[in-house]
Structure 1
Amino acid sequence: MIRAALPLAFAGALSLAAALPAVAQQQPAPRILVTGEGEASLKPDLAMVSLSVMREAESARQAMDANNEAMAAVIAAMKEAGIADRDLQTAGIQIHPRYESRSYDDGRQTSEIVAYQVTNTLSVRVREIDRVGEVLDRAVTLGVNQGGGIAFGNDDPSAAITEARKAAVADALAKARTLAEAAGVALGPVVEINEQNSGPSPMPFKARAEAMGAAPVEAGENTYTVQVNMSFAIGGE
């Protein structure tokens, strides 16, 4: 029984081995691959402002106390200006020693701690763009001496992203039709589609800060970009 089974098993292995090259030689169906891009712009409706207070003293404790006092005044002023608690967030507190190099008559050189620096960074979300300059001016008056970075955004950019998606797909369809026509083939159905999108990039748009004495601020426009990669069959039904 065992001897009789061996030729059958060997014959089955040969049949499987003969079938493998046929599978390996199968080629994917021809397709048209294109990339489409679309974008849509929105005027910003909020701004993220980064404000930092740095204080220096002989000890870390003294530097921290001075920094706490200054930052507390800045936070109180932001709230008085109508900034909600949810729009105020501490972004980081750093404590660093400051060193100075000293040289001696015998040629020795040392590096000694001469002071400590404490930096507290506050992120402020400003929901009225025209008040950004006023917020910056008030913060500097109260002791902010570092930072000042501004990022303009949109509370709900979904409508702009949807428009960018539609434009990207239309762009990809137009490219695919042109390629199919040029190649003399029929454009089949969509086989695969995937999307990549990027956040807003600033574009020129006039804006002004209306408060007297406030820093001039240009809000710009936020442009949302979507890229789609689409695969079409050739000569589909």
Structure 2
Amino acid sequence: MKMPLRAGLLALALAAPAPLSAAHAQAAGPSAAESLFHATTLNLSAYGESKLSPDMATISLGVATEGGTAARALSDNAARMNQVLGALKAAGVPQKDIRTSGLNLNAQYAYEQGQAPRLTGYHATDQVTVTVHDLSKVGAIADATVGAGANQVNGVSFGLADPTAAANAAREEAVRALAAKAELYARASGYRVARLVSLSEGGGVEAYRPQAMTVMAQARVQNVPTTVAPGELTVRVDISGLYELTR
């Protein structure tokens, strides 16, 4: 049986591949990644900094006690920590700014050659982290807690309640530094900067940390108020950028 001529031509037309449109031809060309691979590029990094005074402090302190039994060590520890918490409250520190950061109980042993370890008692510690928003009270708060029974002061760190403005200033400085470095490298190598292809960021706040524990110990021995110097904070932002160069 012969196929009608018109039906045969229609079948042939449906089977034949359609010509590529301009859009399809462009899509079939080199990808953006391949084009960039064949371009002259410059990969650089830079940073920006913003220095300012801190507006908050964090004090890490605690109570350590020993007892013949685990219950006695914990009981004595709780009693002394309650006194410390009372001193913090009396100094005007709100409950929301006091956070328990560690609670430990450990058995203590005596070791003698040729003999089994001998239990001598228990050691209990309770650590709290205190946030202070009035920096003029940091020393007084530390003294009050030590006077109330705190016998461990692990340090003071300073920070910013809202580092956004300082971080943005550091970002702007970092971008300016990155652009200047790109122009320098391009000019030195006989090129010019065509465009910024990509930009990535990383970084954070670096806080100055004085040796607070040593200062406090000396202050208590000399019976003088503890003084703590906040110093200056540095907000640093690190960035990396990829530039395309051209002649």
- Paired residues for 1:129-168 under 5 Å: 129-168=135-174
Write the deviation string for residues 157-215 of structure 1: whole angstroms up to 9, x where unpaired.
Answer: 111110110111100100111111112212111100001113224299xxxxxxx9321
The alignment partner of 2:149 has SS state of coil
- 2:24: which partner in 1? none
Contact 1:203–1:222 under 8 Å retained in 2: no
The alignment partner of 1:219 has SS state of coil
Contact 1:203–1:223 under 8 Å retained in 2: no
Unmatched tracts of structure 1, length 5 or more: 1-21, 205-211
Report the CA distance between 1:57 and its aligned residue: 0.7
Change (3 A) 1:148 1:215: farther
The alignment partner of 1:109 has SS state of coil
Report the CA distance between 1:76 and its aligned residue: 1.2
- 1:222: which partner in 2? 233
CA distance in 2 between partners of 1:102 and 1:175 (Å): 65
Contact 2:157–2:207 under 8 Å retained in 1: no
Aligned residues: 203
1:111 and 2:111 matched: no
Unmatched tracts of structure 2, length 5 or more: 1-29, 211-222
| The one of 208, 219, 244 aligned to 1:233 | 244
Write the deviation string for residues 114-164 of structure 1: whole angstroms up to 9, x where unpaired.
Answer: 110110001100111111111111111111111331111110011111011
- 1:11: which partner in 2? none
1:30 and 2:30 matched: no
Percent sequence identity over aligned pairs:
30
CA distance in 2 between partners of 1:102 and 1:148 (Å): 32
Report the CA distance between 1:233 and its aligned residue: 1.3
CA-based RMSD of the aligned residues comes to 2.1
Contact 1:57–1:117 under 8 Å retained in 2: yes
State which drifts further: 112-121 or 144-153. Answer: 144-153
Contact 2:40–2:246 under 8 Å retained in 1: no
Report the CA distance between 1:80 and its aligned residue: 1.3
Write the deviation string for residues 64-118 of structure 1: whole angstroms up to 9, x where unpaired.
Answer: 1101010011111111111011100000100011111246xxxx42211111011
Greater Rg over alpha carbons, structure: 2
CA distance in 2 between partners of 1:184 and 1:158 (Å): 39
Contact 2:106–2:124 under 8 Å retained in 1: yes
CA distance in 2 between partners of 1:186 and 1:88 (Å): 56
Contact 1:74–1:139 under 8 Å retained in 2: yes
Amino acid at match of 2:181: K
- 2:73: which partner in 1? 63
1:123 and 2:134 matched: no
CA distance in 1 between partners of 2:59 and 2:209 (Å): 18
CA distance in 2 between partners of 1:116 and 1:235 (Å): 72
- 1:3: which partner in 2? none
